[in-house]
Structure 1
Amino acid sequence: MTSNTEKEMELKFQRMLFKVQESLTGDEVQDLVFLCSDLLSLKDLSTVTSAGQLFTLLENRALLSIEDASLLLELLSIIKRKSLIRSLTLDEFMPTDGTTYSQQISPYRQLLYELSESICEQDLKNIKFLLLKTLSRKKLERDTTLLQLFLEMEKEDLLDENKLENLQKIIAEINPSLEKRITQYKTERYESGGMLIAQEIGDITPVPYTHTSPQVLTSLTSLTSVDVEGEVDRLSLTEGAAAISGDQSQHVDSHSVIENENLDLTVTENGDIQQYEMKGDRRGFCLIINNCNFKSLRRREGTDIDEGSLKGVFKWLGFEVLTKQDCSSHQILQALRDLAARDHTRADCVVCCVLSHGRAEGIVGVDEKIVTYRELIENLTSNQCRSLFKKPKLFFIQACRGTDNQPAAFPPIFSKDEDTTVSDAAVPRDSIPERADYLLAMSTVPHYASYREPEKGTWFIQSLCRNLKLLVPRGSDLLTILTKVNSDVSKKTDKSGVKKQMPQPEFTLTKRVVFPPPKTPPPLP
């Protein structure tokens, strides 16, 4: 019986590996090859053309097995294949003796991969030009990828985890904001014991990398969040409009941090922040995902009012509006993939509005499965959609981020049975974009509910539409408008005077978003 069970598990394991193999693109396979270049010999890796070949090498080295598939989990997490991870049965192939999952891909290797994901085609051409006197022309051919260049630099002893100066100089000339990421890596490595700096002299003595790094794979369902006091995901967004617009914005989440090194604000000679260009042939696409009818959750009465308001305002602003109703989790992600597949070359920006129930993990589809905020936005990164490179990607999210109510500062006056305000509770710890030029305008701060009036729509969306119509003609930038939305919504309450709501914009914008004032009057309410 035991033998049959073992054979069944072995067959299931091989089926899982086959599913991963069939799901990965050729480029993703080469990404995995690069990430494994510290674990396997370059000679063996040079012949790998499929994920199956790579898995065989890892199995032969006892790095991947039916007893421990944590390396596969780590690799898929690094290349951001979250939906694939969720579709697998990886938990069946993890150690059951209480062993923690140690980080096997070094932070150095992950840094290089992260840099490659942030470099556009033109930047790669510039890097190759700067390496003309260092590497042979054959190694700088047109189809050579940045990861292949890194490997060539390592072969020439121009690059390793203790020798980043050459790469840092090149990146500094190409993309200063990415150069700061290398500096950040050096700092983190020093602080974690990776470098010993001699007192006063400044000599740097390398310490070998060990596999005792902090745990990075804490669960199969939350691979990108850190929920430990004192630790915050380094990809956190700047929170609150005050960071750019100069206006005041309530800052509530005590676990959030401002990472200025991730923002490369373009300024003019007199110190003013520049604006994104809004001179394209068209403003862009606006996708509205409106979920009303759920399998067992309460129907979102009044959401059609929000959809109508958003349609009217964004058409008035010059957007081509696309709408999707009652989407499952899969359909939400497919709608984003379809949006990314469109040509945005002549567009100024892109907008996505999501109206749905929300839970701690993210947005809820009508099938009541979760779509995390990271999944929501990752399809529109510049790597996934080149025509959106350096263009603002604007998300407006109407959903709860928890079930707590924000109480007012005075006692209730009316009885609860007179209250017709409904909560959308059903916060995203991982609602963290990894690229520049993003805005996520959230209807509420983490852990709290947001409110919807069946006859009037939601407080947040209605305030957003009203203030866009009021302030765009005055030339106000989007963050200033969202600050006004914050102010308006913060003053609202239910009839009992108990429930309160505080919206929260999060962004990695590098310029001001200013919509050109339309020549026509704003749409009627």
Structure 2
Amino acid sequence: MAFLCDPDMKFQQMLLRVQESLGDDDLQDLLFLCSDLVSPKELREASTATDLFSCLQTRELLSPDDPSLLLELLTIMKQNNLIRKLGLDGCIDNNGTIYRRISAYRLLLFELSQSICDQDLKKIKFMLGQTLPRKKLERETTLLQLFWELEKEDHLDENNVDILQKVIGNVYPALEKRIVQYKEEVAGETFIAQETEDNLSTSVQPLSVASFSLDEMMEDQVDRLGLTEDQSQSLDITSGISNESSHVCVSDTPEIPQYKMEGEKRGICLIINNCNFTSMQKREGTDIDNESLTAVFQWLGFEVWTEQDCDKKQMLEVLKDLAGRDHTGADCVVCCVLTHGCVDGVFGTDGGKVTYTELKEPLQCSSLLQKPKLFFIQACRGTREQRPVWPENNRADEMTFSDAAVPTDSIPEAADFLLAMSTVPDHVSLREKTKGTWFIQALCHNLKQLVPRGVDLLSILTQVNNDVSRKTDPTGTRKQMPQPEFTLTKRVVFPIPKTNPPQ
């Protein structure tokens, strides 16, 4: 019976115990809570809790190494005794944080369903008599099923809960406050949206000071990259303004060679723009990023090629197609990937994962040998949110600092690669629905500002790091820190375009 010690087997046994402990109503609750995480077809075919768990495991949302989603679901369902029996309470981190994958919208609907009695449900069905077909309002229909039907008929979604406020507010006025509270939260979320397959953390408390301060993080980035500037000027990382009085003696600064940018054409810029997903949230605002990238890279002399809403197979095929083109007369190649992501890769619209290694492998082709291959990745690398950190004046000696670990297969092994990530490992990336993402917009802005000054790409990315690190959402609780990873052997300096930068 030694196999019982296997962690995978133990975890499967745990999932079986969960199924055995839950009733039919609990299964419906699970399916409803996970309806944003799996496809409608998978929901219809899931007749048991283990069917649902299998789907979540296939999508890498549930595993022996990360049972946090199971803990979250059971916590929402108030299965506290079962959590203790399974030992899942030990999965909560030291500060009591549970990182949330179930959306605030789905959580609102579930809370409402738990607060409505049978008598009130009858009244709600009567109020919906002119909105839904009569057969959808049968006696056996639960409130959660009503919510599903309202969603199918396009009367209800995360950005439109007016029908809930109208109907439930009339039947049960006390619950209207909860709906109004959600609408106020959504009003804030239209400014900020998480760039991940998951949803926001339930905790909004700042991290402890045992972390990087922003200034120290920027200093570490500069030291790690070891960047140099054009001899005629140095870039002030704090302000982005040319500083004529550099403290570094130019004569002591070694000259770092540059990649040649003298080809017949600059090269191809491929943009993979994933907006609509089968089982993840729509990436509202991504088209703004796409337009900005298209304008900037065309200005830089690239042939821009955009692919919209690619699943995993299509993403790999597009990269293979890009590699198969003749790049002999090109200076370099650029690939921008705008999508949902996780710690070691990015997602296609079908939820299939493409690792960072799979992204770069096709471009190790002969016509791109010793030419820079530049990736700009706008995607989350985890579910944690970065919080503001305020250093304490007299605690410097007590503070501990540690670099975030980089996953093995996300580090380029071949020479001449750059992967400019929108965030550090394990953390989310932020997107304004009406303005685009912090990272891509900062990238485009600084390319327009600094390429005409002859600034090299890694220094531009350091300025992007600085700009994004200084941004904060309206609540003052969310931050972001981009991270370039590279095996470049020379400086990347784009020729100064002859035309003015796009507006």
TM-score, structure 1 as length reference: 0.46
Structure with greater helix share of residues: 2
The structure with higher relative contact order (CA 8 Å, sep 6+) is 2
TM-score, structure 2 as length reference: 0.48
